[in-house]
Amino acid sequence: MILACQNISKSFGTDEIIKNASFHIEDNEKAAIVGINGAGKSTLLKIIMNELIPDEGTVTLAKGKTIGYLAQHQDMDSKQTIYEEVLSVKKNVIEMEQRLRDMEEAMNHCLPDQMEKLLGDYNRLNHEFELLDGYTYKSEVTGILKGLGFGEDDFSKSMEELSGGQKTRVALGKLLVTKPDVILLDEPTNHLDMNSIAWLETYLLNYKGAVVIVSHDRYFLDRVVTKVIEVFQHKVSVYLGNYSDYAVKRKQAREAQLRQYYNQQREIRHQEEVITKLKSFNREKSIKRAESREKMLDKIERLEKPTEENTDIHITLEPNIVSGNDVLKISGLAKQFDGNYLFSDIGFEIKRGERVALIGDNGTGKTTILKMINGLLEPDAGEIKLGTNVHIGYYDQEHHVLHMEKNLFEEISDDYPYLDNTQIRNVLAAFLFTGDDVFKRISDLSGGERGRVSLAKLMLSEANFLILDEPTNHLDITSKEILESALNQYTGTVFFVSHDRYFINQTATRILDLTGGTIVNYIGNYDYYLEKREEQTALHVKNETVVKAAAKDNSNKLDWEQQKKEQAKIRKQENAIKKIEEQIETCENQIAEIDESLSDPAIATNSAKLNELSAERDVKQKELDELYEKWEELSAALEV
């Protein structure tokens, strides 16, 4: 055991945050701390780091072990470059390296009687230098910075010119280079693109130390952690497994707790009825028995009714007007900023009822495309065409649809004047704004609270085409699940940008990957995209070569429609193969059952039954052979 928390309690005034929390972390263990926003996850990390003093309880770090912490927000006041800032944590190694160089220089000029001592000191220092990976620290720093999404041309950027998100990435880089025995990470994926998140997953999985992560990124947690520590209604519970295992076990635990509560309530009511009945007899013996039961009842530790937080959010997104089948058509789209091309000549279509995710690395132009569709940016070239009766509802990262000077009530009432006071309060209550919360100014809200207001406005709009830019940012896991459910039931059309892979997996029916200045289409969810990405990227690169060669010959290039048809054809073939595999399994089971019957001694003497079963087996064997042939044909066609 490398870290232990025993009976931790913390309150701020009368607001109880954590009560009697106990858990431990083993050497090299990867664990997550989960819970809704405000549950006390970050508070727990700060208590472990001794940045907050608990009201009760103790935190114990194993003797001689080191611990490092990445907070959500970084206030890094430095004039150094990115590379210098990360390299600064290797100060002791750099100083050691300089001492070695100085000793090498001294050995070139020292007297013979000084050489032996100098050489001994040099060898001891060099051994220590090697143990600290002194000969690889520069390549290690470079590798970590590149893994976190910084290109070599970024290394020389001053820390002063970085955004908050970039500073957080630098802070993460410094922490990883430091290599403490225990790493505490508070929302480490918030400012990373998908490639960087995938890199961090691999890094942490192979990290020779313990890792404790606070994150709402369920896909990330599924990949990395083997233990989940849940903070729920001030208490801490520990579940073994990844996030998906935790979700199943949590549901089972809640159901068990609810059963225990109702069983106890039934028992209490039964005892109260018996006590009332005994008292009604009005005899000394009966009254004593009633009093005895009352004492027993008073000693029972009453269970609180288990409740799920946020279960009162019910988002209903439903268009009032049905759009035409063709919702959006983009062709020849191009955009550059200061001579740097984001993309050129891209095109795609979206049909009614689709839920399409636009993914790609940071800086490829995903948000730019959404802004151009919404008329907030002009394309340099190309056409954006909306279909018949298409009404857009736009949810942007910066919440520009909100008015900072208004309060929540005014924000809704001014845009939807036909709603009365009760209706407005009911809408805001559905998004957890109750009582005097409705009079808070938009400018005073947190990012997550503004996100909920934007979603409330989206719910009230008559939009049938929702365009969402990072809708899950600042939402806790429960809120994400509620939004996923709402979008999956929505009968309109959804086009969204997100780096939340779990959210994409749950909601997307199609994925557009903005890569290399063009669009690659995947008809499926995120798991399907991962499965086919390498194959489709290779196909795309090959097709690009064909396009360039074909352009010289003035022949037709592979366009968007062809790409889409090819994807649909592949998916159709895969479904056909899957169906045949199911038929093969059924047929094999039927033949096995016949063989079992044929070996039955009771049937062995019945020639008529034997002939019937043999004939049936021949038919099934022929059917199986045909299925095998068909499977081979389809598999061969898919490989072409």
**Best mean pLDDT range from 33-42, 157-166, 194-203:** 194-203
- Tell me: pLDDT of 543 over 60: no
Report pLDDT for 545: 41
Q: Domain span at residue 441?
A: 326-552
Alpha carbon distance 286, 309 (integer Å): 45
Tokens of 558: 């592979």
Residue 319 forms part of a structural domain:
no
Same domain, 174 and 184: no
Instruction: Let me know whether 513 and 437 are in one domain.
Output: yes
pLDDT bucket at 506, cuts 50 / 70 / 90: very high
What is the end-to-end Cα distance of the chain in Å, rounded?
A: 53
Asked if residues 316 and 483 have their Cβ atoms less than 8 Å apart, the reply is: no
Domain closes at, from 506, 522, 552? 552
On whether residue 602 sits in a domain, the answer given is yes
Confidence of residue 315 (pLDDT cuts 50, 70, 90): low
Q: Running DSSP on this structure, what letter comes out for residue 440?
A: S
The percentage of residues in the chain with a pLDDT greater than 90, rounded to a whole number, is: 44
In this predicted structure, the answer to whether residue 249 has a pLDDT above a threshold of 70 is: yes
Beta carbons within 8 Å of 410's beta carbon, 6+ residues apart: 403
For residue 125, pLDDT beyond 80? yes
pLDDT at position 574: 77
Residues 455 and 439 in one domain: yes
Is there a domain that residue 315 lies in?
no
Contact between residue 306 and residue 254 where contact means Cβ atoms under 8 Å apart:
yes
Does residue 478 share a domain with residue 533? Answer: yes
Q: Does residue 489 lie within any of the structural domains?
A: yes
Is 159 a residue whose pLDDT tops 60? yes
Looking at the structure, tell me whether residues 235 and 266 fall in a common domain: no
Residues 466, 540 within the same domain: yes
Question: 586-617 pLDDT, tens per residue?
Answer: 888 888 888 888 777 777 677 778 788 888 88
Q: Report if residue 429 sits inside a domain.
A: yes
| pLDDT above 50 for 360 | yes
Comparison of pLDDT for 311 and 412, the residue scoring more: 412
Domain end: 552, 571, 593, which one? 552
Most confident of 259-263, 308-312, 636-640: 259-263
Per-chain mean pLDDT for the chain? 86
Q: What is the CATH number of the domain that holds 127?
A: 3.40.50.300
Q: How confident is the model at residue 552 (pLDDT cuts 50, 70, 90)?
A: very low
252 & 373 share domain: no
What pLDDT is stored for residue 558 in this prediction? 44
Same structural domain, 96 and 148: yes
- Domain shared by 147 and 219, yes or no: no
Do 499 and 357 sit in the same domain of this protein? yes
Q: Tell which phi-psi region holds residue 450, choosing left (phi > 0), alpha (psi between -120 and 50) or beta.
A: alpha
Q: Quote the Cα angle for 218-221-224, to 5°.
A: 155
* Predicted pLDDT of residue 567: 66
Q: What is the pLDDT of residue 427?
A: 79
Q: Which residue has the higher pLDDT, 633 or 32?
A: 32
Q: How many domains does the chain have?
A: 5
Q: What is the number of alpha carbons within 13 Å of residue 460 lying toward its C-beta?
A: 22
Give yes or no: residues 235 and 254 share one domain.
no
Which of 518, 552, 586 is the C-terminal boundary of a domain?
Answer: 552
Provide the pLDDT for residue 539: 67
In a domain, 392, yes or no: yes
Whether residue 316 is contained in a domain is answered as no
Question: Is 306 within a domain?
Answer: no
Statement to judge: residues 351 and 226 lie in one domain: no
Residue-level pLDDT at 27: 93
pLDDT cut 70: percent of the chain above it: 91
